[in-house]
Amino acid sequence: AQSVTQPDIHITVSEGASLELRCNYSYGATPYLFWYVQSPGQGLQLLLKYFSGDTLVQGIKGFEAEFKRSQSSFNLRKPSVHWSDAAEYFCAVGVNNAGNMLTFGGGTRLMVKP
């Protein structure tokens, strides 16, 4: 069965510092992979997605993620964090043919220090 693991429940970084959020997945086929962000009281916003092609994908708000098949990972990165990036981040794998039925990781809550 498919699963997604986000090893870090909480991460705190200083504003302007770089960020990497880890995501590991288990899925028997070529995965559709997604990162979503959720601000307090809000729904989920798609940051970026991968399903083929270049393994380094660019998303909105300056985020990028790299798909590494050998490590079953899809880590999210940002070179310089802004205070407005404080939120919860979810990694997900799409498990149906259309890749949109999502299995989510447990989420990583990001706090940004001034």
Q: Which residue, 13 or 102, has its beta carbon nearer to another protein?
A: 102
CA distance 111 to 32: 28
Does 56 bind another protein (CB under 8 A)? Our answer is no
Among 1, 29, 97, 114, binds another protein (CB under 8 A): 97
CB of 101 to another protein, least distance (A): 5
Q: How far is CA 105 from CA 3, 14, 72, 79, in A?
A: 7, 24, 14, 23
Question: Rg of the Cα trace of the chain?
Answer: 13
CB of 25 to another protein, least distance (A): 14
Q: Which residue, 15 or 24, has its beta carbon nearer to another protein?
A: 24
Tokens of 97: 């043919």
Phi/psi zone of residue 79: left (φ > 0), alpha (ψ -120 to 50 degrees), beta?
alpha
CA distance 18 to 40: 22
Q: Which residue, 4 or 81, has its beta carbon nearer to another protein?
A: 4
Does 83 bind another protein (CB under 8 A)? Our answer is no
Residues near another protein (CB under 8 A): 32, 34, 36, 41-46, 49-52, 90, 92, 94, 96-107
